[in-house]
Structure 1
Amino acid sequence: MWGNSSPGALASRFARLIEQLGGDTAAAKAMGQQRDLLAAVDATSGGTLNQVAARVKRGAPAVSRAVDALVRAGLVDRQPDPGNRRRLQLRLTEEGRSRLTQPPVADGSLEGRISKLAHSEQRALERGIEILERLPR
């Protein structure tokens, strides 16, 4: 898709990249962490809190608090494991799945500013984003 991205697509990709890299603001960082946690719950669907914590490489107490917030927000469902009553299974709700599949919201002003760049500059920006996306975490 190199060279064919619209300013909106570039802005959205850049916003996601900022989330992945930790963001410039606490809000961007929190959104990135929430997206990572939702992805971990999705990947371990029916998994336990400890499995999700291991996937995001964070301690169980911190992940437990974050999952509590996601449950209150209606993004994650916690149900008893039919095979073990002491164990809880975590799954995304429909809203959680929808949130996970939505692209991050790009700053509208960023899209407008990117649209003013020459096509060759937009292609160069796209190439730069591709390079940054490959950076190891």
Structure 2
Amino acid sequence: MQQISSPHTPAALATRFTNVAHKWVEDGPAERAEAARRKLLQAIAEKEPATLNEVAAAVARGAPAVSRSVEALVRAGLVERQADPDNRRRLALRLSSAGLDELSRNPSANRMLRTKFERLAHSELRAVERAVEILERGL
């Protein structure tokens, strides 16, 4: 006899939550690229003046891959590279004003969620807020 799983078990709730989250938040290539770019910008901002190795460690990626990504950020005008005054062989990375602006903007996923949340009734929005509070407490 097959046992039917309760919809209230942690495993069942995890599955349901994952399914709902995927419907609410876009997770395509553009969103993943934006998240990776923001992660790099944040790592540089936190370590300024950052070295390539510091950024690679912060984002848990290899230095060659991070070097290519940083090069793209430099070409896009988001990051500035300068020789470290204490060690000319080492480059110091800083966010440009455009990079700071990019990092201060809400990610596109937040804008999409905001639009969806604006469609909810006040009572529904309060219920979502309570659920988020519970989830935050559990982290």
Q: TM-score, with normalisation over the residues of structure 2?
A: 0.72
Identify the residue that residue 4 of structure 1 maps to in structure 2: none
Task: Provide, for residues 81-125 of structure 1, a one-character-per-residue CA deviation record: whole Å limited to 9, x for no partner.
Answer: 1111111000000110111111123138x61x4333221101122
Seq. identity, %? 52
Identify the residue that residue 119 of structure 1 maps to in structure 2: 122
Q: 2:82 aligns with which of 67, 79, 82?
A: 79
- In structure 2, C-alpha distance between the alignment counterparts of 1:26 and 1:130, rounded to whole Å: 29
The change in CA–CA distance for 1:123 and 1:25 in structure 2 (over 3 A counts) is same
SS in 1 for 2:106: coil
Unaligned runs of 5+ in 1: 1-13
- In structure 1, C-alpha distance between the alignment counterparts of 2:106 and 2:118, rounded to whole Å: 19
Unaligned runs of 5+ in 2: 1-20
How far residue 131 of structure 1 moved from its aligned partner, in angstroms, is: 4.8
Q: Within 5 Å, give how 1:14-93 maps onto structure 2.
A: 18=25, 24-93=27-96
Q: Does 1:102 align with 2:85?
A: no
Q: RCO higher in 1 or 2 (8 Å CA, sep ≥ 6)?
A: 1
Corresponding residue pairs, total = 115
Q: TM-score, with normalisation over the residues of structure 1?
A: 0.73
SS in 2 for 1:30: helix
State the Cα RMSD in Å.
Answer: 2.5
Q: Does 1:128 align with 2:131?
A: yes
How far residue 26 of structure 1 moved from its aligned partner, in angstroms, is: 1.0
The change in CA–CA distance for 1:52 and 1:135 in structure 2 (over 3 A counts) is farther
